[in-house]
Structure 1
Amino acid sequence: MPLSDDIAEALLTSIIDGHYPPGTALPPEPVLAEQHAASRLTLREAIKVLRSQNVVRIHRGRGTYVNNPDQWTALEPMIRAAATGPRAGGAISEKLIEARQMIEVGAAQLAAVRRTDDDLAELAEMLDEMRAAAAAGDTEQFVTADITFHDVVMRASGNAFVPLLLEPFGQLLIEGRRQTSAVPQIRTNAVAHHERVLEALRGGDPEKARRAMAAHMTQTAGDLRTHVIEPPH
């Protein structure tokens, strides 16, 4: 990897860690070059990488300033900022649920008319695993079965692009499920909603499947806020 890329990675890590918060300026070019034992030309190449991702902006004569992560245009830095930066937590989980709702409600609607018997069998198997994990209080097994259930629904949509849409958020999705699935009441609610989704898919009713998945996403968002973000005292 070129030295300029190493420097860009180091600067990005410092930004995500909060060393250079949004709106603040990076140290002057000569200072950064000395810190990283690099020429100013190499340093400029590193800054160019971050600028291309809109992580930073340059004000001529004033310096290089850090943009808010909402303005970044590269997915990987945004995911890292969401997972480890000061924006991590309940708000990120809520936004992920919103993204899931946009994708998974439509996937369920398609899956109702395109699912196969094998898809239905796998969904039933995952639902059984969720019930068993909920009864045993096994959060990890519950999360695995839950994620697999939703993966099957997206594959059953019959559109090869659909399962790929949430793939970049894999680890964030797992962490979000762990947040909620650790709460017994949320596991109970989730099992009930997954039962309704499977029933709608078995019946081959796209509108019923759409409503069932939408209700599940609404339940998930509500449970997150009630039991995780604003837990009862």
Structure 2
Amino acid sequence: MSQPPIFRRWPPRERGIIQLYSMNTPNGIKVAQALEEMHLPYEPHTVDITKGDQHTPEFLWINPNGKIPALYDPEGPDGRPISLMESAAILTYLAEKTGELAPVDPDGKSACLQWLFFQMGHIGPMFGQFGHFYVYAVDKCDHPYPVQRYADETRRLLGVLERHLTNRDYMLGESFSIADMAIAPWVDCLERFYDAREMLKLWEFPAVNGWLERCTRRPSYAVALEVCDPKRR
């Protein structure tokens, strides 16, 4: 295909580099950080999910599920273009493309995939539901049950991380990896975006807090927070 449909709405300035379609949500931040950490040339395009950009036909071409982030690589496998959806799949693809920030030995690769799936299956959905009811749906649902249910599950999952990170610098041990990139933005958003420090008693997770500080102080994280911010349009 000479021109992917998504190019019609978000025309690239440089067709020969990776095109990122995203927003500065936790799932968007993780992929932008990976691109920065791996020093891959890319062009960011802001998909404003608050305005429904993700439901346009052009975006649905690259992700039929209508979720950010998505990525188009004109130099994919065997030099052929490839489009990708799902943030964990994108992280895995980028790590394999560059040979960076993910183990290649069987045991290390297995551990990395397990924590990626843990983030996608538990951290993201549960933290997201907590934020929805605690912050965004307060005028639609005043019953205490959903907030308490998802607050309890969020704290349980933080407890899983706390036990795992005790005596570890990063999720896979001593080295920063795509597993950290996947999980850290979601933990960060509990205070940064949801302002839930008091509600969740985040100080009760010292190993998590130390790990989060190590992840978020990386220069790549500061860039990832800004790169697809609708306010910068």
> Which bracket does the TM-score occupy, shorter chain normalised?
under 0.3
TM-score for both structures, normalised by structure 2: 0.25
TM-score, length basis structure 1: 0.25
Q: Indicate the structure with greater strand content.
A: 2
Q: Which has the higher contact order (CA 8 A, sep 6+)?
A: 2
